[in-house]
Structure 1
Amino acid sequence: MPSILPTAEAAPAHPVVKGVANGSSNPLLANVPNKLFIGGQWVDAESGKTFPVLDPRTGEEVFRVAEADKADVDKAVAAARKAFDEGPWPRMSGKTRDKILVKLAELIEANAEELAKIESLDNGKPLAMSKIADIPLSADHFRYYAGWADKIHGKTIPCDNMLGKWFAYTLHEPIGVVGQIIPWNFPLLMLAWKVAPALAAGNTIVLKPAEQTPLNALRFATLCEEAGIPAGTVNVLPGYGPTAGAAICRHPQVDKLAFTGSTEVGRIVMREAAERIVPVSLELGGKSPLIVDKSVDVDKAVEQAHFACFFNHGQCCAAGTRTYVHADIYDEFVQKAAARAQRRVVGDPFEEATEQGPQIDQDQLDKILNLMSIGEREGARLMCGGKRHGEKGYFIQPTVFADVTEDMTIAREEIFGPVQSILKFHTTEEVIKRANQNEYGLASGILSNDVNFINTVSRSLKAGTVWVNTYNVYESGVPFGGYKSSGIGRDKGEYALEAYTQVKAVYQALEGEPDWY
């Protein structure tokens, strides 16, 4: 497997961003600042610290960025506070914000080739997937919320009772300074999911990207400058969770917290929010069931289930990792699912044929290997995979387990890797009960040609999303979020705006002062 960085010939022909001198020898990173973005300025961390960005194909350092901690968070929150309390962004008309967000979407599209390559270098996902999914969906998200910027409004409410008559109306106002912490599995797209609705509603932002994948968040900040987003409105602070992340969660001037990541860390964020009584939205882990009915075309169902589980190397919170298959087709499905996984091409994400690149880092590699080992010890039947792929980088063999039961660790815990667990079921009532027998409730799927089965199961699953005869569809206007331990609130669509606005009620007397005063 070749271990190559994109060459100078493959780099986009964009000028170096003004003021950026990052010391990188990789031409692809020429436009990526290695500093913090605070108050419209590129600055070093107060401590002077930096941290490495590793290429997951090799485990080798490819870049260094400034490491934010509490002192930098204090500066960024102060800048965001000033931008919210005194700056133009919350005071602009919705139509003006609309135009700027459209410009930002257009800039993402204009730089799509560069952003896709940065995404694949940073995260390890196949370049083809970055090009057709991550970057276009990110641009679409900003364009979608640009359309909402001038449509966020309240209602007029008639008031007439025995005491008098009033005119009442509601205002939907931006909530203030928003602290946002995003994960590494879809670096730019998760940024878009968080930043776009918050900006459309008129908020200011302090954003911490995952320490594993800070590159496109920094490049995005340069596009914010180019689009005309006022200084202090968006602040980007690469850093670690226990330092920068914790400081954002605890800061008394942060009015709202939004987090996407593991359920374990989500509980910590929620506790911090509870201490200060600030609203919090959480998009957390999942262990999503995909239910395969006996009425399906088995070959087609195998391919759909493979995509549901292995998309983005299995590093997807909604991944359909619990594959429930009806007993009548179970044996055939298991054999064909294993054969499909064995055909999956694992390799360099910059190679055209690659379907699966490396996992994100050594910690994730070790976690997946450990859980696969536990699966074998607990009695699951290993059909294929189960080991590391190659000797360099963070590659995992696509893995399929059969004869999995709900009491097994691999059926309960989120693996976040390319591991499919196949479970057998016999009746509709049984599979509904078993599918819901999990602490998570983020997403789910049904593969069936029986409309009665589809309607019964889709209404019975305790999950925020149900995909029917498809999987991993993420439309900007459709809400996404979870039941149970999978989170609170919704990203995407009109519903996400509720997380970034306050509702104010205003009463006004219509006939002077009431006579009961």
Structure 2
Amino acid sequence: MTQANAAAAANHDLVQQLRDSRLNNGLKHFIGGQWVDGQAGKTFDTHSPVDNAFLAKVAEGDAQDIDRAARAAHDAFQTWREVSGAERRKILHRVADLIEKRSQEIAVLESTDTGQAIRFMKSAAARGAENFRFYADRAPAAQDGQSLPAPGFINYSMRQPIGPVGVITPWNTPFMLSTWKIAPALAAGCTVVHKPAEWSPVSATLLAEIMDEAGLPKGVHNLVHGFGESAGKALTEHPLIKAIAFVGETTTGSHIMRQGADTLKRVHFELGGKNPVVVFDDADLDKALDAVVFMIYSLNGERCTSSSRVLIQEGIYDEFTRRIAERAAKIRVGDPLDPDTEIGPLAHPRHFDKVMSYFDKAKEEGATIAEGGVRVGDSGNFVRPTLFTGARNDMRIAQEEIFGPVLTAIPFADEADALALANDVKYGLAGYLWTNDVTRAHRFAHGLEAGMIWVNSENVRHLPTPFGGVKNSGIGRDGGDYSFEFYMETKNIAISLGTHKTARLGVGQAPAVGQKEAGE
């Protein structure tokens, strides 16, 4: 047995142990520090995308459960907001320690639940711990503001937590993305009601267990499972919830904005993308190839920042697409718990059907399937890494977010043509540029309509930097203190030095009111 086979077998053994000890008991809500069933007693089933076999029974939350969680978060906020930043830092560091301690358990359950390859879920678990450590260290300064002196006054600003917040997370890498939202909320002094995606609810339970074990006070974090149209809608409409942080599809984001309008909810959206990677003929083409292949085919292509359109200068288009196709054909698709696997199954049969539908769309629109375009195996949600060539930017495969291991290659003539193509979509989350012309790199990056741009690199996150998109890709920014701008209110306090003069009203002779004029 090879080392990889032995590791895969060990991972499967661990999954079976976790099924017996945890999943077979079902996934409950966590409200006010207690594991509880839904008040209506309803449940739904979650399945493994490897074979779509039953994985666990999950409590199905509704408006009653959301109300219980929101009230628990509201009550806990009255004390959590007063906990010092130093104490919050200690608790969040303990959360990070426990994530690291249970990282293997997190990774194998995340792979089983989402279909993501274990090689990436191990790093995702580590990133979850890093997110908590990063915001733990920022907690003591979360309320800090500015000194803004003016003639006759001392002005100073401060930040205060906004209150209970709703966090709605997606199904693609749910554990890491949950920590990315929840950690800054807790560091800021907010309390949380978390509604994870119904397609991959398992790791949310692990995170709730970990935070409880770390000593997070009861009610500070609450977990309610359920569907968007019921539990999610109730969360976005609840008057005690002051803000909604959502990661997911653009259309859902617009629904959430409408649902929160009556209660004037603050919203933070990380939405869809159709991100371009632009490859000029003067680029380091070997490095560009590595980055292009990695950014679309890793994480099953189910990532908001994937570079799903590759724009290639005409003179190198044929050779570069040939090399992409060769690499795509060699990508290992299979068991997500096998360390050698590079692409696992897509998260859900409905999403599998959506991705598969674009293969016919590509042919109908006149594009060529240079590689892939087929399912893998007879069961599960496996898709071959796919490359479309001969594509135009007005095709659906170039405009719509497929969210799978599918790349659309489009040629361009010059810089102006590349910029026009790159910007000609409704999305604007990320962009990637490959060129050795430093002047062009700056000029192109300034013109590209995207919230984040990497030059001569794949997506390499630096946690203090802003993360978010423009156009239909989102509202607001995560990262560093940018997260605190969402989870906190800024207050200005003006102290008079006693030297200014206030205009005086009402100090003269009062006019006669209702007195008759002489002679009347």
Give the TM-score taking structure 1 as reference length. Answer: 0.93
Please report how far the alpha carbon of residue 334 of structure 1 lies from its aligned counterpart in structure 2 after TM superposition. Answer: 1.2
Please report how far the alpha carbon of residue 339 of structure 1 lies from its aligned counterpart in structure 2 after TM superposition. Answer: 1.0
SS in 2 for 1:42: strand
Tell me the residue number matched to 2:473: 486
Residue 70 of structure 1 is aligned with which of 63, 68, 71? 63
Tell me the residue number matched to 1:16: none
**Which letter does structure 2 place at the counterpart of 1:251?**
H
Alignment of 1:241-320 (within 5 A): 241-320=228-307
Tell me the residue number matched to 1:337: 324
CA 1:6–1:36 in 2, change beyond 3 Å: closer, same or farther?
farther
**Whole-angstrom distance in 1 between the partners of 2:136 and 2:447:** 35
Tell me the residue number matched to 1:226: 213
Please report how far the alpha carbon of residue 10 of structure 1 lies from its aligned counterpart in structure 2 after TM superposition. Answer: 4.4
Tell me the residue number matched to 1:151: 141
SS in 1 for 2:459: coil
Q: CA RMSD in A?
A: 2.1
Question: Identity over aligned residues, as a percent?
Answer: 39
Residue 237 of structure 1 is aligned with which of 224, 227, 232? 224
**Which letter does structure 1 place at the counterpart of 2:139?**
A
Please report how far the alpha carbon of residue 511 of structure 1 lies from its aligned counterpart in structure 2 after TM superposition. Answer: 2.5
**Which letter does structure 2 place at the counterpart of 1:83?**
A
Alignment of 1:3-402 (within 5 A): 10-11=13-14, 26-27=19-20, 29=22, 34-85=27-78, 87=79, 89-131=80-122, 133-152=123-142, 153-160=144-151, 165-402=152-389
CA 1:242–1:313 in 2, change beyond 3 Å: closer, same or farther?
same
Tell me the residue number matched to 1:18: none
**Which letter does structure 1 place at the counterpart of 2:371?**
C
**Whole-angstrom distance in 2 between the partners of 1:24 and 1:11:** 5
CA 1:433–1:206 in 2, change beyond 3 Å: closer, same or farther?
same
CA 1:31–1:493 in 2, change beyond 3 Å: closer, same or farther?
farther
> 2:23–2:55: 8 Å Cα contact kept in structure 1?
no
Please report how far the alpha carbon of residue 30 of structure 1 lies from its aligned counterpart in structure 2 after TM superposition. Answer: 6.2
**Whole-angstrom distance in 2 between the partners of 1:68 and 1:363:** 22
**Whole-angstrom distance in 1 between the partners of 2:315 and 2:153:** 66
SS in 1 for 2:464: coil
SS in 2 for 1:274: coil
CA 1:55–1:150 in 2, change beyond 3 Å: closer, same or farther?
same
**Whole-angstrom distance in 1 between the partners of 2:468 and 2:52:** 33
**Whole-angstrom distance in 2 between the partners of 1:271 and 1:123:** 29
CA 1:28–1:305 in 2, change beyond 3 Å: closer, same or farther?
farther
Tell me the residue number matched to 1:15: none
Tell me the residue number matched to 1:17: none
> 1:24–1:63: 8 Å Cα contact kept in structure 2?
no
CA 1:135–1:8 in 2, change beyond 3 Å: closer, same or farther?
closer
SS in 1 for 2:261: helix
> 1:29–1:118: 8 Å Cα contact kept in structure 2?
no
Structure 2 stretches lacking a partner, 5+ long? 505-520
Report how many residues are paired.
Answer: 498
Tell me the residue number matched to 1:408: 395
Please report how far the alpha carbon of residue 76 of structure 1 lies from its aligned counterpart in structure 2 after TM superposition. Answer: 0.2
**Whole-angstrom distance in 1 between the partners of 2:166 and 2:262:** 15
Please report how far the alpha carbon of residue 516 of structure 1 lies from its aligned counterpart in structure 2 after TM superposition. Answer: 4.0
CA 1:224–1:429 in 2, change beyond 3 Å: closer, same or farther?
same
Tell me the residue number matched to 1:471: 458
Once the two structures are superposed, residues 31-73 of structure 1 have per-residue CA deviations (whole angstroms, 9 ceiling, x without a partner) of 9862100000000000111111210000011111211111100
Greater gyration radius: 2
SS in 1 for 2:119: helix
**Whole-angstrom distance in 2 between the partners of 1:301 and 1:315:** 20
**Which letter does structure 2 place at the counterpart of 1:145?**
Y
**Which letter does structure 2 place at the counterpart of 1:11?**
L
Give the TM-score taking structure 2 as reference length. Answer: 0.92
